[in-house]
Amino acid sequence: MVRAVIFFIIIFSTVVVIKASASAQEWSGTERDVLRTLWIGSLSPLPNDPSNKVADDARAANLGRKLFFDKRLSSNGNVACSTCHQPDKGFADGLALARGVGQVPRHSPTIIGIAYSPWFFWDGRKDSQWSQALGPMESPVEHGATRTQIAKILQADTFYSRAYEEVFGRLPDVSDDKKFPDIAAPIDVPESRISWDAMKATDRRAVSRIYANIGKAIAAYERLILPGISRFDRYVKAVLDGDKVAQNKLFNADEAAGLRLFIGKGNCTRCHNGPLLTNHDFHNTGIPAIAGAPGNSGRAAGVRIVLQDEFNCLGPFSDATGAECRELKFAKVAGDDLIGSFKTPTLRNVANTAPYMHEGQLDTLNAVVDFYNRAPSARPGHSELEPLGLSKKETGYLESFLKTLNGSFSAPQQVLPTAE
């Protein structure tokens, strides 16, 4: 009798669990429509970059990949683009604050799928992938190099000089150290600035053209770094296909509950929407700056910088016409909502790219979910967040769901030899 009762309890409990799991994974037509917008299958083809005519040139990507991993493009020979964007760490670096030749005051975000964004860096101070690639190379705390130094490396290296000329045409001769000193760039480093200002205008322009083209080649490679399918995407496909068996195999009840919170009560899709789970916009979430941070004005400062950038879409090194630079021409340049606002990062592979926020202020997904749930007030500016009122169990569901966003990514694994 006792065994029979125990057997009944086990069977009954199993039925209840199965029913609860199935119930948790029932989706309305409206919810399925939302899930479809977040699915990787809804990702559109790569947008054109009219400012970079070689953006989709395989030869440029071949050149750009080697540049991306080359540590010679730094003042100490130890820093490359890949130092802060490491493939085995989701093209991030796992640090709260990036480390180049010095301490960088910002966290390194992943660059997977970044080609879809109209703005670059946390504050949007660059408006193209190629112009973004140029910023760190002359930053005193990142690569710490100068554009004349980099141009000379390009000329001295047989692979680089040949590959450059295949894509961009004749490489100007920059071997004369009197005309082209190694340390010369228009940056806030006295030795570099003085040497740069002493150069002839035509020589400065020739070096800047080489420098811009280097950025365009790196961008051609980075455009190939794209997100792949995650367990979340397979789950959404099962939902759209009406495959209940696959749904229950792919997501447990907690993960399904977390997804429901993500698109519902959690209000996450207000900013993290579309197949890349970002709206590519800027928001003030009230995250406090770390002690000693250089400034937290965010987009308010970034938009002023990009408008004055010699490498912006409207600048002399862009391949675009003025009519093709709508994002820059119509960028919002003032307003209280820009103060303290930073770019919304993608959530794809989010569990692999800790820590989080623009200064790496939060160490774990649990801390991030808790922060958004509490929605503390902002300084500076005004936080857009409102307290969510989620229970501890619900925040756990949300965290469980976010871990399902980890997936593969595609990127060329080796540099192929250029054609003879």
DSSP output for 53-114: TTTT-HHHHHHHHHHHT-TTSSSSS---HHHHSBGGGTTB-S-SS-BSSSB-SS-----TTG
Helix (H, G, I), strand (E, B) or coil at 362: strand
Which pLDDT score, from 0 to 100, does residue 294 have? 65
Where in the chain do CATH 1.10.760.10 domains reside? 27-46+227-298+339-410, 58-222
Selected from 1.10.760.10, 3.30.750.80, 3.40.50.300, 1.10.357.10, the CATH number assigned to the domain covering 27-46+227-298+339-410 reads 1.10.760.10
Cite the DSSP H helix spans in 297-404. Answer: 299-308, 326-329, 365-374, 392-402
217, 209 in Cβ contact below 8 A? no
User: Which residues are registered as beta bridge partners of 343?
Assistant: 282
**Residue 416 pLDDT:** 53
User: Which pLDDT tens digits describe the chain residue by residue (420 residues)?
Assistant: 444 444 433 444 443 333 444 556 899 999 999 999 999 999 999 999 999 999 999 999 999 999 999 999 999 999 999 999 999 999 999 999 999 999 999 999 999 999 999 999 999 999 999 999 999 999 999 999 999 999 999 999 999 999 999 999 999 999 999 999 999 999 999 999 999 999 999 999 999 999 999 999 999 999 999 999 999 999 999 999 999 999 999 999 999 999 999 999 999 999 999 999 999 999 999 998 887 666 679 999 999 999 999 999 999 999 999 999 999 999 999 999 999 999 999 999 999 999 999 999 999 999 999 999 999 887 778 899 999 999 999 999 999 999 999 998 988 765 455 443
Give the CB-side neighbour count of residue 119, counting CA atoms within 13 A.
28
Amino acid at 317: F
Q: CA distances (Å), 34 to each of 31, 188, 196, 257, 399, in order? A: 5, 48, 53, 15, 19
How far apart are alpha carbons 238 and 166 in whole angstroms?
46
Model-level pTM greater than 0.75? yes
CATH of domain 58-222: 1.10.760.10
Burial of 72 (0-12, 13-18, 19+ CB in 10 A): middle
Q: What are phi and psi of 298, to 5 degrees?
A: 60, -130
